[in-house]
Amino acid sequence: MSRALRRPPARGVEWEFQTLVLSRDLSRSAVRRLLVEQAEHGGWELDRVRIAHDGVRRIVLRRKIIRQRLTLFAS
Protein backbone atom coordinates (compact mmCIF):
# COMPACT_ATOMS: atom_id res chain seq x y z
CA MET A 1 0.00 0.00 0.00
CA SER A 2 2.80 2.44 0.72
CA ARG A 3 6.52 2.84 0.56
CA ALA A 4 8.93 5.41 1.91
CA LEU A 5 11.95 6.63 0.00
CA ARG A 6 14.43 9.46 0.12
CA ARG A 7 15.30 11.89 -2.61
CA PRO A 8 18.62 13.72 -2.80
CA PRO A 9 18.78 17.00 -0.89
CA ALA A 10 17.61 20.13 -2.67
CA ARG A 11 18.87 23.48 -1.38
CA GLY A 12 19.84 22.14 2.02
CA VAL A 13 16.53 20.41 2.79
CA GLU A 14 16.07 16.65 2.82
CA TRP A 15 12.62 15.13 2.37
CA GLU A 16 11.30 11.66 2.99
CA PHE A 17 8.54 10.57 0.60
CA GLN A 18 5.78 8.03 1.02
CA THR A 19 3.63 6.79 -1.85
CA LEU A 20 0.08 5.60 -1.24
CA VAL A 21 -1.92 3.75 -3.88
CA LEU A 22 -5.61 3.80 -3.00
CA SER A 23 -8.40 1.86 -4.66
CA ARG A 24 -11.21 3.58 -6.51
CA ASP A 25 -13.62 1.90 -4.09
CA LEU A 26 -12.65 4.28 -1.27
CA SER A 27 -14.86 7.33 -0.89
CA ARG A 28 -13.47 10.86 -0.87
CA SER A 29 -14.28 11.19 2.81
CA ALA A 30 -12.40 7.97 3.63
CA VAL A 31 -9.36 9.19 1.70
CA ARG A 32 -9.54 12.57 3.44
CA ARG A 33 -9.69 10.90 6.88
CA LEU A 34 -6.66 8.77 5.99
CA LEU A 35 -4.66 11.81 4.84
CA VAL A 36 -5.62 13.85 7.91
CA GLU A 37 -4.51 10.97 10.13
CA GLN A 38 -1.15 10.77 8.32
CA ALA A 39 -0.67 14.54 8.65
CA GLU A 40 -1.59 14.83 12.32
CA HIS A 41 0.17 11.78 13.67
CA GLY A 42 2.95 11.13 11.18
CA GLY A 43 3.98 14.66 10.26
CA TRP A 44 3.33 14.07 6.55
CA GLU A 45 2.14 16.74 4.13
CA LEU A 46 0.57 16.32 0.71
CA ASP A 47 3.01 16.54 -2.19
CA ARG A 48 1.12 15.15 -5.18
CA VAL A 49 -2.15 13.43 -6.12
CA ARG A 50 -2.71 11.64 -9.40
CA ILE A 51 -5.95 9.93 -10.34
CA ALA A 52 -5.56 7.35 -13.10
CA HIS A 53 -8.11 6.59 -15.81
CA ASP A 54 -9.26 3.53 -13.88
CA GLY A 55 -9.90 5.65 -10.76
CA VAL A 56 -6.89 4.53 -8.72
CA ARG A 57 -5.40 7.36 -6.65
CA ARG A 58 -1.62 7.65 -6.37
CA ILE A 59 -0.78 9.98 -3.53
CA VAL A 60 2.72 11.16 -2.62
CA LEU A 61 3.27 12.49 0.90
CA ARG A 62 6.44 14.15 2.18
CA ARG A 63 8.04 15.19 5.45
CA LYS A 64 11.29 16.89 6.31
CA ILE A 65 14.21 14.90 7.58
CA ILE A 66 15.65 16.80 10.52
CA ARG A 67 19.28 16.06 11.19
CA GLN A 68 20.80 16.91 14.54
CA ARG A 69 24.33 18.21 14.62
CA LEU A 70 26.81 17.03 17.19
CA THR A 71 27.77 19.84 19.53
CA LEU A 72 30.93 19.65 21.55
CA PHE A 73 31.28 21.60 24.75
CA ALA A 74 34.75 22.51 25.93
CA SER A 75 35.15 22.90 29.67
In a domain, 75, yes or no: no
Mean per-residue pLDDT, 38-61:
96
In a domain, 9, yes or no: yes
In a domain, 73, yes or no: no
Mean per-residue pLDDT, 37-48:
95
Full domain range(s) for residue 17: 2-64
The pTM of the full predicted model, rounded to 2 decimals, is 0.73
pLDDT surpasses 90 at 16? yes
Question: How far is residue 8's CA from residue 56's CA, in Å, rounded to a whole number?
Answer: 28
* Total number of domains in the chain: 1
In a domain, 69, yes or no: no
- The pLDDT, as a whole number, for residue 10 is 57
- The pLDDT, as a whole number, for residue 4 is 60
In a domain, 72, yes or no: no
In a domain, 14, yes or no: yes
